[in-house]
Amino acid sequence: MFLNHRHIGTLIVFLALLTGCVSPSPSERLHELMDASWDADIRWSPTWATTIGDHRYDDKLSDLSLEMYERRNGQLMMFAFTLANIPSVELSAEDRLTADVFEWYLAAKLLDQTSQRHLMPVTQLSGFHLSLPMMLVSQPFATYQDYMNYGARLASFSIQVDQAIKSMREGIAKGYVPPRITVEPALDQINAHILDDPKQSEFYKPTKQFPGSFTDAECVDLAGMLWHTINNNVIPAYRKLHSFIDSEYLPACRETVGIWAVPEGDKIYANLVHRYTSTKKTPEEIHRLGIKELKRIHAEMNVIRQEVGFEDRLPEFMTHMRDDPQFRAPSGSWLMEHYAEILARTEPELHKLFGRLPNADCEVKEIESYRAASAPVAYYNLSAPDGSRPGYFYVNTYQPQERVTYTMEALTYHEAVPGHHLQFALHAEDGGLPNFRRHNYITVYCEGWALYTEGLGQYLGGYTDPLQRYGRLAYEAWRAARLVVDTGMHHFKWSRQRAIDYMNVNTGLARLNIEREVDRYIAWPGQALAYKIGEITIRDLRDQAMERLGDRFDLRAFHDQLLVDGPLPMSMLVERMNKWIDGLDTTAGVSGG
């Protein structure tokens, strides 16, 4: 997309503000530009701003209009153009790193814009229909104004619905429609909020426990305001959205599951592969890598099969582990209790692997019933940088009898500590990093780190049971199989059933998890590739450091160095870690070996 006259005019004004009467230094220009970009990000996604503790726009929802999409594109290009004109040679080493990460950050956002997601805003896993109730996790409810802000957000939902419907109609006209299988479950998610009694709504829950400082009159006023907003705005908006999707949108959705089926789908997928892996690997290379990794992991699984005395072949062992009732959770409460126990015994051991730990706590939380049926097995939700809210390790207790128990340790390490919670909270609390680096989500780094930490359980008092070690390998096989099935569906035109069958044969996941995961890869093309690519990179860096440093290798120092600069694309991470290794390797010579 090219800059139009409005964008050029904005750029000229912006550059004039930057230069002013006294020319700022390159470093000052860089930081002014980053501040302007950050403010734009906050305005673009006000509910995310609330999540990370910026409460300037607690009464706003995102503008989903096609006009805002155009403005956002121009804005991103303006920032990228301005950054390119800052002489990096005149920056300090730290500012050069920041500029490099910022350049990648802007390019990634522009790549996101080319995927046409704004024309396909509803899936079973994400979308404004889900983000509205999810804001209850981070929305503050301490003051009267907090409740008024919340009410204003709810009142804006009908505007979002109208904007999204217009975008989806545009998508239908241009051929950008999602697979039917990713949209159909959204009907139940939407229907869960269409109620006869607003007092039964998720959105009414904040009235159940007002702060003690509120007067009776204030409580009555706020409860009435929320009842009126939910009854006259939120419920009708959800009803309108349900009607549109059921009668107009769903019939237009496609039966194919790969992104290749939309206009320029192959190009979109290539961009997404680059966006999520931050590498130049092609879909073909990634597909082959997944097959190679599965071969290695299956060999390790075979060792455990022999260790526990199972005489049949690995496929039969995997089926036995997946289907035997003794390896299934008896209830949702049992799952919650045992995940909490794993977390509680892991946290005191973290000092063995890390010199720096976050201040924020992490708590286990149950995925809400209105979205559990289509949700993944678990995920992490950010803590507040100011300590007002812990991080949440969300666990899916839907159909607990379908959830295998031997993967519980690996999952806790990934989603809670030392995986997502440790990394996200540590960076968010680091006031020395620019805002966009503190809160940047580079998928290959963040998910690669979390997958890497699944292998650290042996240092944290875990994996004493060979079946839990098997569970870790089952999860690793799951991530390796993703490389095959994601590229399979979106590049090689596999069917959904072929992807399910491949996962069923090659991983130890329960059937319910496999189906939900495959549907996730359909909804988010390319995202699942990041995990294994990032983990392999980190693992290779550790192996390299161990080989070069020998007895001087310190695992705690290695981990602290990996985490010190915030999330980085893989090429930058490798460069930074190699410099660190060179600095410790006295045998490397002047050139660093």
Domain boundary among 224, 244, 265: 265
587 occurs within a structural domain:
no
pLDDT band at 10 (very low <50, low <70, confident <90, very high): very low
Instruction: Note the pLDDT of residue 23.
Output: 83
Tokens of 100: 């490099």
Shared domain check, 334 and 373: yes
Q: Which residue range forms the structural domain that includes residue 459?
A: 270-532
Flag whether 565 is in a domain.
no
Q: Are residues 126 and 231 in the same domain?
A: yes
Q: CB 465: neighbour CB atoms within 10 A?
A: 12
Per-residue pLDDT tens digits for 201-216: 999 999 999 999 999 9
How many beta carbons lie within 10 A of that of residue 492, not counting itself? 15
Task: Summarize the confidence of residues 325-329 as an average pLDDT.
Answer: 95
- Judge whether 219 and 397 are in contact, CB under 8 Å: no
pLDDT number for residue 20: 52
Residues 6+ apart with CB under 8 A from 208: none
Quick one: 140 and 98 in the same domain? yes
Residue 267 CA, distance from chain mean position = 23
Predicted pLDDT at 512: 87
Q: Is 248 helix (H, G, I), strand (E, B) or coil?
A: helix
The residues that bridge with 378 in the sheet, in sequence order, are 395
- Report how many domains make up the chain: 2
349-353, 442-446, 583-587: least confidently modelled range: 583-587
* Domain contains 161: yes
| pLDDT over 70 (residue 4) | no
The pLDDT of 143-149, averaged and rounded, is 98
Tens of pLDDT along 233-276?
999 999 999 999 999 999 999 999 999 999 999 999 999 999 99
Domain closes at, from 481, 510, 532:
532
Instruction: Judge whether residue 101 has pLDDT over 90.
Output: yes
559 domain-assigned:
no
Q: Of 348, 310, 289, nearest to 470 (Cα)?
A: 310
Asked if pLDDT for residue 51 goes beyond 60, the answer is yes
Asked if 376 and 361 touch (Cβ cutoff 8 Å), the reply is: no
Structure tokens at 504: 């069923």
Pair 83, 157 in one domain: yes
Residue 377 near residue 332 (C-beta atoms within 8 A): no
Say whether both 319 and 202 belong to one domain. no
Q: Are strands 391-395 and 378-381 parallel, antiparallel or unpaired?
A: antiparallel
Per-residue pLDDT of 165-183, as tens digits, reads 999 999 999 999 999 999 9
Please say which residue of 239, 265, 291 terminates a domain.
265
Decide if 229 contacts 155 (C-beta within 8 A).
yes
User: Is residue 582 a part of any domain in this protein?
Assistant: no
Q: Tokens 């995310």 identify what position?
A: 48
User: 237 and 377 share a domain?
Assistant: no
Q: Measure the CA–CA gap between 410 and 407, rounded to whole angstroms.
A: 6
* 259 plus 368 within the same structural domain: no
Residues 224 and 335 in one domain: no
CA–CA gap between residue 446 and residue 421 (Å, rounded): 10
pLDDT at residue 86 greater than cutoff 70? yes
The average pLDDT across 566-579 equals 97
DSSP track, 190-241? HHTT--S-GGGSGGGGGGSS--TTS-HHHHHHHHHHHHHHIIIIIHHHHHHH
* Residue 199 forms part of a structural domain: yes
Q: Are residues 258 and 278 in the same domain?
A: no
90, 63 contact by CB (below 8 A):
no
DSSP H or E segment with residue 495: none
pLDDT at 81 over 70: yes
Sheet holding 391-395, edge to edge: 362-366, 391-395, 378-381
Q: Say whether both 489 and 520 belong to one domain.
A: yes
Whether residue 592 is predicted with pLDDT greater than 70 in this model: the reply is no
Tokens describing residue 228? 């009126």
Please identify which residue in the block is written with the tokens 């509910």.
Answer: 47
Note whether residue 572 is domain-resident. no
User: Is 44 within a domain?
Assistant: yes
Task: Note whether 284 and 321 are same-domain residues.
Answer: yes
Question: Does one domain contain both 293 and 248?
Answer: no
